[in-house]
């Protein structure tokens, strides 16, 4: 199945909201990570979201270029082709784009979608994230409004964020912020809805103490009831149809009970990166340790080509990432819930 059409993507999000599950949104940086993700979604019978960060895109373009927009286009085009071989729906998304990178990263990708649409194809990405958490909420929503108008013209969904996800990931570091910045208020959620409603479809990454990175269970103090209270404020004023599609960033180390509680409050997308990075790297480390004499040409020996051929250990890495993502599908209840044959 080719990458989801805009209509199919909307149907995916509505199915998740109606049936009480969320999609894992996995960051990729290469063909190996993309293939592992596609395999996981297909084997789980789950539709899914594959996303690219600015840093991941720069890496994908190669060290000689380090071009974020170009790297994102390369990865997206590859997923468009690869997804044709699988029987689930896949949406493409870009992760955290700060105001300083809107013109160098986000708008070139919107232009790439504009060109595809002119050729009779669908948009390159089905959604993008604008992370305006580094500016005050009024400025954040001013920029978000402008971008949502541009996205809506192309049938692209915009994800916005109010409040800050803590920690550090891919150059996005908010570890020094005061604790109160990690919690979005019900008033903020209401302001986001009132500013963006009616312009185009959007998702909202409200923050409730979530933190990027790897933490032991219990180290991060989540307050999922913030999502409940914010949704309640919006629905009480504007009706049940105003319920927002929420996004959960920084879920590593969270219990399955916490994950599923956020789904009850309207989360339909949860980002997964730290855990799948580790899953990808762990078998590579094991391969190197277990086969060190074959991997390295020690003391003038020739080594073992089968041991240092990257295909050998990257296959293990791809499968390990696949297994971890399948677990995420189970945790978020998306397993077996593909709408591919219904859409």
Catalytic residue, candidates 47, 67, 87, 95: 95
| Annotation marks residue 95 as catalytic | yes
**Rounded Cα distance, 52 and 95, in Å:** 6
Which region, left, alpha or beta, applies to residue 125 given φ > 0 means left and ψ of -120 to 50 means alpha?
beta
Question: Are 250 and 173 within 8 A, CB to CB?
Answer: no
Terminal C-alpha separation, the chain = 11
Encode 125-170 in three state secondary structure: CCEEEECCCCCCHHHHHHHHHHHHHHHHHCCCEEEEEECCCECEEC
Number of neighbouring beta carbons within 10 Å of residue 285: 12
**Rounded Cα distance, 49 and 129, in Å:** 13
- Which sequence positions are flagged as catalytic? 95
């Amino acid at each position: 199945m080719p990458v989801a059409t805009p209509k199919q993507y909307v149907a995916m999000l509505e199915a998740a909201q109606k049936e009480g599950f969320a999609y894992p949104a996995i960051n990729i940086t290469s063909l190996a990570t993309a293939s592992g993700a596609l395999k996981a979604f297909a084997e789980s019978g789950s539709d899914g979201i594959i996303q690219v960060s600015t840093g991941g895109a720069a890496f994908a373009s190669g060290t000689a270029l380090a071009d974020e927009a170009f790297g994102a286009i390369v990865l997206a085009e590859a997923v468009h082709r690869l997804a044709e071989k699988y029987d689930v729906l896949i949406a493409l998304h870009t992760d955290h784009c700060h105001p300083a990178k809107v013109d160098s990263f986000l708008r070139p990708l919107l232009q790439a979608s504009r060109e595809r649409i002119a050729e009779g194809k669908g948009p390159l990405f089905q959604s993008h994230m604008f992370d305006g958490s580094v500016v005050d909420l009024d400025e954040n929503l001013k920029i978000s409004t402008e971008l949502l108008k541009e996205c809506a013209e192309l049938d692209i969904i915009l994800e916005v964020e109010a409040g800050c996800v803590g920690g550090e990931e891919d150059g996005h570091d908010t570890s020094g912020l005061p604790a109160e910045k990690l919690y979005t208020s019900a008033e903020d959620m209401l302001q986001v809805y009132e500013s963006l409603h009616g312009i185009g479809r959007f998702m909202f990454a409200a923050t409730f103490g979530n933190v990027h990175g790897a933490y032991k269970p219990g180290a991060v103090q989540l307050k999922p009831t913030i999502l409940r209270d914010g949704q309640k404020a919006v629905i009480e004023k504007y009706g049940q149809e105003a319920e927002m599609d929420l996004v959960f960033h920084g879920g590593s180390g969270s219990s399955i009970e916490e994950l599923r509680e956020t789904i009850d409050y309207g989360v339909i997308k949860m980002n997964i990166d730290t855990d799948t990075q580790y899953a990808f790297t762990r078998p590579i480390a094991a391969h190197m340790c277990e086969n060190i004499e074959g991997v390295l040409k020690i003391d003038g020996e020739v080594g073992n080509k089968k041991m240092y051929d990257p295909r050998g250990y990257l296959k293990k890495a791809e499968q390990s990432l696949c297994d971890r993502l399948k677990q995420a599908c189970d945790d978020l209840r998306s397993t077996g819930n593909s709408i591919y044959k219904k859409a």
